[in-house]
Amino acid sequence: MKILAFTDIHGNKRAISHIITTAKKENVDFLVCAGDISVFEEDLDKLISSFKVAQKPLIIIPGNHEGEDFLKAICKKHKFCIYLHKGYYEFEDFVFFGFGGGGFSSRYKELDVITKKLKKSLGDNKKVIFVTHAPVYGTKLDYLDFMGHVGSKSAREFISEIKPVIVICGHLHENEGLMDNIGKIFIINPGRMGKILEI
């Protein structure tokens, strides 16, 4: 499977054009957005609609610039859009799971509860792709020189319990393009121009 992951484009037209062009050229299976596609929901419906021309499914979660209810309602209007927040989407032997919103909070009680339930319901043969807006705590992707590690400890616990094959995150623009590993688990902030990931 080939995906084009991106995050934090905040309505940037150049980034959108680049992602659409790359998606067509590389013939990806999915576009995956880890949140903050807009600037506080400005022109959110128009931004989502602009990806239709890519002719690829768009998997998306809200960032800290989108309310979950508003984004969910817009996604329902577009058949190519898959709203992933607090839910999962299965494709072949892969499971995409998403948790959006926030950014700097170290614990998300709701994610902690979901992690326990998901661990019980997932089959052993499924490869999980975790899409989270908040960067994972204790990695290169959540570190800021002036603040230290500011990411999500709940996301870190999710990784420990579920053991996804790939984690796609965002939020910290300073760290776009950075990658890290926790054991064999690959973590990336693909940035606004996106990254091709083959799994």
What are the Cα distances from residue 43, in Å, to 52, 97, 131? 15, 26, 23
Taking the CA of residue 176 as centre, how many other CA atoms within 13 Å lie in the half-sphere pointing to its CB?
15
Q: Is the pLDDT of residue 123 over 90?
A: no
Supply the pLDDT for residue 119: 86
pTM (two decimals)? 0.97
Supply the pLDDT for residue 91: 95
Supply the pLDDT for residue 90: 95
Of 50, 127, 91, give the one whose Cα is nearest residue 33: 50
List, in sequence order, every residue forming a beta bridge with 30; answer none if it has no partner.
Answer: 3
Pairwise CA distance, residues 80 & 56, whole Å: 7
Confidence of residue 106 (pLDDT cuts 50, 70, 90): confident
Q: Is the pLDDT of residue 61 over 90?
A: yes
Neighbours of 12 (CB within 10 A): 16
The CATH code of the domain that includes 149 is: 3.60.21.10
| Domain encompassing residue 168 | 2-198
Q: Bigger pLDDT: 50 or 119?
A: 50
Confidence of residue 105 (pLDDT cuts 50, 70, 90): confident
Pairwise CA distance, residues 77 & 190, whole Å: 27
Confidence of residue 121 (pLDDT cuts 50, 70, 90): confident
Tell me the two tokens of residue 139: 């990695």
Confidence of residue 126 (pLDDT cuts 50, 70, 90): confident
Domain count, the chain: 1
Question: Percent of the chain at pLDDT above 70?
Answer: 99
Q: What is the mean pLDDT of residues 124-136?
A: 93
- Taking only the tens place, the pLDDT of each residue in 4-55 is 999 999 999 999 999 999 999 999 999 999 999 999 999 999 999 999 999 9
Mean pLDDT of the chain: 96
**193 by DSSP, 3-state: which?**
coil
Q: Is the pLDDT of residue 125 over 80?
A: no
- Taking only the tens place, the pLDDT of each residue in 173-194 is 999 999 999 999 999 999 999 9
